[in-house]
Structure 1
Amino acid sequence: MVRTFVLMAAMTAFVGFIGLLLGGETGLIIALVIAFAMNFFSYWNSDKAVLRMHGARPVDARAAPELWKMTEDMAHRAGLPMPALYIIETEQPNAFATGRNPQNAAVAVTRGLMQNMSHEEVAGVVAHELAHIKNRDTLTMTITATLAGAVSMLANFAMFFGGGRDRPMGLVGTIAMMILAPLAAGMVQMAISRVREYEADAEGAAICGNPEWLASALAGLGRLSGRIDNIAAERNPATAHMFIVNPLHMHAVDSLFATHPPIDKRIAKLRALGGTRPQRAPAGPTNRGPWG
C-alpha cells in the first residue's frame, strides 16, 4: 500500500509538472483543473462506464445461483458486502472488479471463465477480484488511469498553451514532452497495476482458503486467454489493466510496458504461500450447467 501511495503521489505531481513545463503557471493550473475534473467524473461513473463498454449483464441469485452463492460466501469471509454480479458474454476466460468502494462494487466474470474452469478455479478468480475490492484497488486503478489520461490530454493540447515567454521549454522541448509525457505516465500506471496484482493474488488466496485454486486458474487463463479474442477489450484497451489477466493479444512486448506481472511468477508466489509443488492445472469442464 505504501508503494502504491508513493506511485500515485508521483503520478499526481507528474501531471502538475507536465502542465508547468508545457504552459508555465497557466499550464499548471489547467493541468490540476483537468486532473480534478476527470477524477471527479471517474469516481462516480467509471464503474458503470466500464461495465457498459464490455456489455456486462447483471445477474442475481435466481439467474446464476451457484456463482451467486460462491461469491456471497467468500464476500462474507472477507468481511465485505455482497458485490453486484455481472456476466460478460465472451468466450475468453477472464474477470474484473470495479466500483469506487466496497459498498458500490461489482464483479464481472466472462462466460468463457465459467465454461472452461472448474468450480475451485472460478472460486480462486472471484476471490482475487474480491481482494481488489477489499484493498480498494478498483478506486486506485481508476484514479491512476484517469491521471494518465490527463497527461495524454495535456500533451495533445501542448501547442495551445501560453506564448514562448510563459513556456519554460522551447518548441523542440515542447514537442519532445508531447511524446514522452504520455509514455512516462503509462509506465507509472502499469507499475501500479503490477504491484496491486501481486497483492490481490495473496489476499485472494486467503479469501478462498487455497492458493492452489487461484494458481491453477491462472495457469488455465494464461493458456486460453491468448488464443481467444475479447472484442470489447480490443476496442477499449485502456481497460485491460482491470482484468485478472491481460485480455489483449500482445506479442513480444517488453515487460516494462506490461499491465500485469508474468503469470508464471504469480503462480510461483501463490504456490510458495501454500507450500505446494507446481502441478498441472485441472481442466475445467467445457460446460458447467449449474452456473446458469
Structure 2
Amino acid sequence: MALRYRMALTLFGLALTILCVVAATTAYVTLVVGFGIVFITGEGLAGLPLEALLAVAAVVTLASAAWLVARERSAPAELVAYAETVGTGSDDQQRRLDAETTAIAAQLDVERPRQHLVATDTPISLVTGYGAADAHLVVSTGLLERLGDAELRAVLAHELAHLKNRDAAVMTAASLPLVAFRRVTDLLRGRTAVRYGQTSHVKRTDALLAVGLVLVAPVWALAELLTASLSRAREFVADSAAATATGDPAALASALRAIDDDIEERPTEDFRTVASAGSLAIVSPGNRLVRPLATHPPTDERVMRLREMAAAQESNHGNA
C-alpha cells in the first residue's frame, strides 16, 4: 500500500512538474510577446477581458504539455540508437543473450523485448520503453563476460521484472522533464554525446523544459526527490521478483556485487550517462553519496536482503 501511495504521489509530482514547467515557460514567453505587442500597438489589447486571456493561456499550456510528452516518447529509441554506435557483440554472445532472455521471458510470462548487445567492457544492463511494443533490453558484452549463467539469468530476470511490473514505463515517463534538463546541462558543460554517429544537439523540447524547470525550481526539486524515491523502491521489488522467478537469490546478489565492484574501477563517462541511462541501469554509477537523489538503493543493502532471502530458502528446505 505504501508503494502504491508513493507511486501515485510520484506520478502526481510528474504531472505537476510538466504543467508548471510549461505554464512557467508559456507565461515567460507570453510576457515578452505581450510587452512587444503593447509596445507596437499601444493600448490596443486593453479592451480584452482578463478571462479571455486566462482561457487562451490555459489552452496553450495544456497543448504545450501534450506536445512535450509526445515529443519525448522518442527518448528510449534515442538511448538505444546511441548505445549501438559503440558496436555490437559476437554471434555467440548474441545467441547466449537470446536463449537466456527467451527462457526468462517465458518464466515471467512477459513478451520478450527487443535486445541490443553493445560492445563495451563495463557490465551494464537496462530496460527502457513505455510498453511491450517499444520495450528495449540493452546489455553490454562486458556483462556477459563478467557473469556466469546463473548470475546472467538473475540479472535478466531483474530487468524483465521491471517490464512485467511496468516499472520501465513509469520510470521512463517520470524522468521525462529531468532527463531533458540534464541533456541541456551536459551540453552546456561540454559533455556532448554521440547519437546516430553525430554530435548531439539540444532539442526544442529540451530547451523548453530546461527553462521551465529553472523558473519553477521548488517543483523541480520535489520531482527529483519523488522520482528517486520511487526508483529505489522499484529496484527492491524487481530484486525480489527476480529472486523468486529464478529461485536463486544468491545468484542475483553475486551479480550485483560483481557489477558494482567493476563499475567502481571504471570511468563513468560511457553511455550510462546519456539521457540518464544510469537511472535505468541495474546498478547506477551516479548519486552514490547523495541518498535522497540516488535512483538506486545501496548495493550493500540490496545484497543483504537477497542473502536473507537465500538463507530463508535454505531454512525452509531444511525444515521440509
TM normalised by structure 1 equals 0.76
**What residue number does 1:209 align with?**
247
CA distance in 2, matches of 1:136, 1:267: 23
**What residue number does 2:300 align with?**
264
2:135 to 102, 105, 113: 105
How high is the sequence identity, in percent, across the aligned residues? 22
**What residue number does 1:254 align with?**
290
**1:245 is aligned to 2:283:** yes
CA distance in 2, matches of 1:156, 1:15: 11
CA distance in 1, matches of 2:113, 2:98: 10
1:95 to 122, 125, 129: 125
SS in 2 for 1:54: helix
1:48 to 72, 77, 80: 77
CA distance in 2, matches of 1:150, 1:70: 34
CA distance in 2, matches of 1:201, 1:276: 15
Please say if residues 60 and 68 of structure 1, whose CA atoms lie closer than 8 Å, have aligned partners that are also in contact.
Answer: no
Higher relative contact order (CA 8 A, sep 6+): 1
Label 1:261 to 1:28 Cα distance change in 2 as closer, same or farther (>3 A).
farther
**1:144 is aligned to 2:174:** yes
CA distance in 2, matches of 1:32, 1:17: 10
**1:73 is aligned to 2:76:** no
CA distance in 2, matches of 1:275, 1:201: 15
CA distance in 2, matches of 1:10, 1:187: 10
Larger Rg, first or second structure (1 or 2): 2
Please say if residues 38 and 150 of structure 1, whose CA atoms lie closer than 8 Å, have aligned partners that are also in contact.
Answer: no
**What residue number does 1:129 align with?**
159
CA distance in 1, matches of 2:93, 2:258: 26
CA distance in 2, matches of 1:80, 1:225: 29
Deviation per residue, 1:91-148 (Å, 9 max, x gap) = 1112001222234322111111111111111111111111111111111111111143
**What residue number does 2:317 align with?**
none
Label 1:20 to 1:49 Cα distance change in 2 as closer, same or farther (>3 A).
closer
Superposed displacement of residue 18, structure 1: 5.2
**What residue number does 2:150 align with?**
120
Q: Which moved more, 1:129-138 or 1:143-152?
A: 143-152
Which letter maps to 1:255? R
CA distance in 2, matches of 1:82, 1:102: 8
Superposed displacement of residue 187, structure 1: 2.2
Query: How many residues of Structure 1 are paired with residues of Structure 2 in the alignment?
Result: 258
Please say if residues 235 and 296 of structure 2, whose CA atoms lie closer than 8 Å, have aligned partners that are also in contact.
Answer: yes
CA distance in 1, matches of 2:248, 2:58: 49
Please say if residues 118 and 138 of structure 2, whose CA atoms lie closer than 8 Å, have aligned partners that are also in contact.
Answer: yes
Cα RMSD, aligned residues only: 3.1
Label 1:31 to 1:238 Cα distance change in 2 as closer, same or farther (>3 A).
farther
CA distance in 1, matches of 2:134, 2:90: 16
Label 1:222 to 1:102 Cα distance change in 2 as closer, same or farther (>3 A).
same
2:229 to 180, 183, 191: 191
Unpaired runs of 5+ residues, structure 1, are 159-173, 278-292
CA distance in 1, matches of 2:277, 2:231: 11
1:6 to 6, 9, 12: 9
Superposed displacement of residue 273, structure 1: 2.5
CA distance in 2, matches of 1:92, 1:62: 19
CA distance in 2, matches of 1:149, 1:231: 16
Unpaired runs of 5+ residues, structure 2, are 29-53, 182-205, 314-320
CA distance in 2, matches of 1:102, 1:88: 21
SS in 2 for 1:198: helix
CA distance in 2, matches of 1:136, 1:55: 24
Deviation per residue, 1:138-173 (Å, 9 max, x gap) = 111111111435788567545xxxxxxxxxxxxxxx
**What residue number does 2:259 align with?**
221
